[in-house]
Amino acid sequence: MQMIAIGGAIGTGLFVASGATVSQAGPGGAVLAYAAVGLMVLLLMQSLGEMAAHVPVAGSFQTYATRFVSPSFGFAMGWNYWFNWAITVAAELVAAGIVMAYWLPGVPSWVWAALFLALLTGLNALSARAFGEGEFWLAAVKVVTVIVFLVAGVAMIVGIIGGHSEGLSNWTVGDAPFHGGALAVVSVFMIAGFSFQGTELVGVAAGEARDPRRDVPRAIRTVFWRIMLFYIGAIAVVGTLVAYTDPNLLRTGTEDVSYSPFTLVFARAGIAAAAAVMNAVILTAVLSAGNSGLYASTRMLHSMALQGQAPVWFAYVNRRGVPVRALGATAAVGGAGFLTAVVGQDTAYTWLLNVSALSGFMVWLGIAVCHLRFRRAYVLQGNDPADLPYRAPLFPLGPVVAFTLCVAVVLGQNYEAVFQGEVVRVLSSYIGLPVFFLVWLGHRLVTGSRVVPLEQVDVSGVRVEAGSGDR
């Protein structure tokens, strides 16, 4: 579970986009932004960990939103999260085709997309164990790469390798370390927030863990600090070894892997074939994100079907406990999203991605709301929080601070377009917000559901015997 969470959070956002954060806000601004967003993620994961250890179910966010807030809120949370990851799968397929063109430029990108989609679908169709094992090794490649990068970077900074000591001179170039001031830091907040999305996969995987009461708290406690070490450490190394004025940091597209900040540092350390090595790692990151996305969205659709919020046809599981119908539907949506990009509908595809990206933040906001409602109902009904298998240590301050920071990230994601009055850019960036509320209100109008009173909230736990395995 720890590797699933790490694998979900470490991807192209770190390997490729980290250079853009340094160029926009300087080394100090980038580190500050990632530290602040990391704090928000820590608080959210503590909230999620408390609920997931007590009620470990696949598709956790939708279940918690339905039980602790309202059926309509759960409906919106579930469908938005499913769409979020289904479209993310499509995005990763696009990226995989671009990465493979580095080695085999003559092969059409759709060939690689189809091949990788079949591979990931097959891996998920085997069993939850097969998904977990596959994700473990995909994540392990990324973790090893980051560790090697950190060691090599520190060695270059102190002069052990690379011929001379880099020191901290790049932290004094121009207006470093905080290039662009406070607004630049805010802009990096958005990039950092998107980069950390995926850590909530611990909650989805909790329903199929062997011993969630033991495994979920352990994963929550350890994974955050490892992710923070990797992100903040890597960005500090990049900012120290590469000046924020270096034009190569601006060339951050996956198709231009030669200018990944990791590649720049490895090349300056004298590591041969740095671009080819990083291209392989980026491909691993892409496949890992696609693998996690397919798993998460499949379990969410299956969970909604069990609760009557999706067609009951998707509730079917095979003898290995895999919801194959939900898996097939999700894979089909991912493939359709990829085809939208292939046939040249770039505008439509961009809007789909924007809706998807904001859906992830809405889930984070929902986690904070669910936790506040759960704990209030739990205590109101005469229960002692000390009996919970895991307690969020900073409640109630934790979810309140996390909610506030997350709102700031969502509303400020494209403040430039708002200030400049660019209507199309504003709509493209914020389209996910009205979509979420329309789904929520539409379900409420059709079903007449209301917020569940605290005294009626179902706070009963789910007991899972250790060693139950795939269920």
Contact present, 439 and 75 (Cβ < 8 Å)? yes
pLDDT in the model for residue 18: 77
Contact present, 412 and 432 (Cβ < 8 Å)? no
pTM for this structure?
0.82
Omega within 30 of 0 (cis) for the link into 396? yes
CA 338 → CA 92, 104, 268, 276, 332, distances in Å?
9, 19, 36, 25, 10
pLDDT in the model for residue 438: 92
466 confidence band (pLDDT: 50, 70, 90): very low
Mean of pLDDT values over 390-416: 85
Mean of pLDDT values over 327-344: 78
- Cα–Cα distance for residue pair 71/335, rounded to 1 Å: 30
Q: Residue 201: is its pLDDT beyond 50?
A: yes
Residue 188: name the closest of 98, 249, 229 by CA.
Answer: 249
Output the six-digit token pair for 8.
């979900």
Mean of pLDDT values over 87-104: 79
pLDDT in the model for residue 471: 37
The whole-chain average pLDDT of the chain stands at: 80
Question: Which residues does 442 contact at the CB level (< 8 Å), separation at least 6?
Answer: none
Please give the single-letter amino acid code of residue 197. Answer: Q
Residue 57: name the closest of 223, 306, 294 by CA.
Answer: 306
- Cα–Cα distance for residue pair 218/411, rounded to 1 Å: 33
Q: Going from the N-terminus, what domains does the chain have, and what CATH number goes with each?
A: 2-447 (1.20.1740.10)
pLDDT in the model for residue 251: 56
Q: Residue 57: is its pLDDT beyond 90?
A: no
Contact present, 108 and 266 (Cβ < 8 Å)? no
Q: Largest alpha-carbon pair distance within the chain?
A: 70
Please give the single-letter amino acid code of residue 132. Answer: G
Mean of pLDDT values over 178-195: 78
pLDDT (tens digit per residue) in 422-436: 777 777 778 778 888
Mean of pLDDT values over 30-35: 88
- Cα–Cα distance for residue pair 109/131, rounded to 1 Å: 25
DSSP single-letter state for residue 390:
S
